[in-house]
Structure 1
Amino acid sequence: MDLNLKGKKVLVTGGTKGIGKAITESFLKEEAQVGITARSNTELLKMKKDLGVQIYPKDLAKHDAREQLISEFLGDFNSIDVLVNNVGASHGEGVLKTPPRIFEEAMDLNFLSAVHLSQLASKQMINKGQGVIINISSIYGKEAGGLPSYNASKAALISFTKSFSSEVIKDNVRVIGIAPGAIFHPNKEWSRRLAHDPDFLEKYARDRIPAGRLGKTEEIGNVAVFLASDKASWIVGSTVTVDGGQSRLNF
C-alpha cells in the first residue's frame, strides 16, 4: 500500500532504539525524510551511519533543548510534516517508595516534552495547513500496571492527545496516539528478566497476552506510518491500543 509519505519531513524523538528505531525505519521505507533525537550521541551516530537520518543529540527533559531541537530541525528540513513523540522512560518504584521529584522527572520527560514539542511543531503545521502529531503512550496509561509515575505520565499524554486534537483539527493538524502493550526489544530490563529466568518471555506471553507472544517493534512502526498517512484522515484524538489483546479494557 502506497501511503503517500514520500518526501514528508518527520521528526522522531527517542529514535535510536526499540520502538523509536522501528518507527524511524518504517518512515524511511515509505521514503520520508527523517530526523531523530536522543541523548546518546554514540547511538545517534550509529543510526546516521546505518540509515542516513539527520541526528540531534538532545536531553528533551530540558526546556531549552526542545526549542533548539525544533529550530535545528526546521533549519535542516525547512518544515515539519510529522512529529512522533516517542521519548520516555520508567522512573521510581511503588508510590510510597517514589519521592515527588521522581514523579516530576517522569512528567518532564514522558509528558511535558511531548506537550512542548507539540506546541512548537504545530505552529509550523498550522501555517502550512497540515500536519500530524503522534504521541506514543502505553496501555498502562489507560489501565493499572507498570510503575505509578510512568502510568501517570502516560495517562496525562493520552488526555493531552484528545484535548489538543480538538483544538487544532480545524487547522488540518491531526493529533493521535499509540498505546503499545508489551513489546520485546533488547534492553536492560528485558535482559535482566531473562538472566533471572530464561523462560520469562514465554511465561509472560502465556499468562498475560491472548495472542501468545510479545509484540514486535516493527508492528508499532507499521501503525505509526498508517496513522501519519491520509489513509487515517478520520482518526482524530484517539489513542490506538496495539497489544495483541493484552489490555483488559472494553474500549
Structure 2
Amino acid sequence: MLRIFHPTMIACSMFYEYRTRGGVVTTPPDTGPFTGRVAVITGAGSGIGRAATIAFAEAGAHVLGVGRRTEALHRTAQEHAGIAVLATDIRATNAGQAIIDAAVGRWARVDVLVNNAGATAVMPLADTVADRITEMFDLHVTAPSMLAHAALPHLRHTRGTIINISSTYGHRPVAGAAHYAASKAALEQLTRCWALELATDGIRVNALAPGPTESEALRAAGLPEPMVNQIKQDEAARIPLGRRGHPDDVARWVLRLADPAATWLTGQVLTVDGGLELT
C-alpha cells in the first residue's frame, strides 16, 4: 500500500517521499555506481525522464523526479524506494531554486542535474505565432538555465555533472518544426559553453541528442491520433536501424554520461538515434 509522507508546499508545488509496506517498493536504493549521490531529473513522469529516473535509482542514487503531472509522477515513484517526486512547472518563477532546495533539503547535496523536460511543437513558418516560440525557448532554454544556476553551488561542492537532453533535430534540419529545432540547438550550445566555463570547477556538462523516441510528446502537442500514427511510421521508415527509440535506449546513455568514472568527458553532444542523422 502506497503511503505519501510529509507533503510540503514549495513554490505552489508538492514534494512527496514514497515508502511502502508490503508493496512493490520494499528496498532502499540499490548498491551501484551512484550510491550516495543525488540526481535531479525533469520531465520524470513519462518517456525518457521516467526511464532515467528509475535507472538512476536502480544504480543507487537518490532521485528527485520533477514534472507537472502529479499522477504520472506517482507512477514513477512507485517503481523504486529511491525516488521522491516534486510536482511543479519548471517554467514558473523561482521554480529552479525551489526544485534544488527540495533536493538539498532532503539529501543535503546535488550531484547530477538532468534537464530533460521538453515538448514538441509542429509549427510551420506560415502558422508561426510569437507565444509558441516563447514557450519553446522558456521550456528548452530558460528553465534549464535557471535550474543549472540554482544547482551550481552544490555541483561545485560535489564536482557534479549536468546532462542536457537535446534532439537529433538540434543539429539536423526538420521541416515544420523550426523553432523546436532552434531551441534544441540553443541547448546544445549552452552545453558547450557551460562545459568550458565550469571545467575549472570540476563540473562536467554534456548533452544527449535522441532521435524519435516513444513518448507522449506528439499527443501532448495536440496532434490527432491518425497524424501521430503516420508520423511514427514515417520516422521509423527513415531510421536506418528500422525503429523508433525506446526510453530505455536513451536512459542508459544518460547514466553513462553522468557516470562518476567519466572524468575526462565534457562539452559533448552524443546522438542516439538509430542512425537518423546519417540520412
Fold match, TM over 0.5?
yes
The equivalences for 1:75-154 within 5 A come to: 75-91=105-121, 93-126=123-156, 128-145=157-174, 147-154=177-184
Asked if 1:229 corresponds to 2:259, the answer is yes
**Residues 169 and 184, structure 2, Cα contact 8 Å, conserved in 1:** yes
- Structure 2 alignment gaps of length 5 or more: 1-30
Residue 189 of structure 1 is matched in structure 2 by 219
* Match of residue 48, structure 2, among 12, 15, 19: 19
Residue identity (%): 30
Deviation (angstroms), 1:150: 1.0
Q: Which has the higher helix share?
A: 1
Cα distance in 1 between the residues matched to 2:184 and 2:223 = 24
Cα distance in 1 between the residues matched to 2:230 and 2:71 = 32
Q: Secondary structure at the match of 1:35?
A: strand
* Match of residue 219, structure 1, among 239, 246, 249: 249
Residue 235 of structure 2 is matched in structure 1 by 204
Calculate the TM-score normalised by the size of structure 1. Answer: 0.90
Residue 72 of structure 2 is matched in structure 1 by 43
Sort the Cα spacing of 1:11 and 1:142 in 2 relative to 1 into closer, same or farther, 3 A.
same
Sort the Cα spacing of 1:46 and 1:198 in 2 relative to 1 into closer, same or farther, 3 A.
closer
Q: Secondary structure at the match of 1:158?
A: helix
Deviation (angstroms), 1:213: 1.2
* Match of residue 29, structure 1, among 40, 48, 58: 58
Give me the CA root mean square deviation.
2.3
Calculate the TM-score normalised by the size of structure 2. Answer: 0.81
Deviation (angstroms), 1:239: 1.0
Deviation (angstroms), 1:100: 1.5
Q: Secondary structure at the match of 2:155?
A: helix
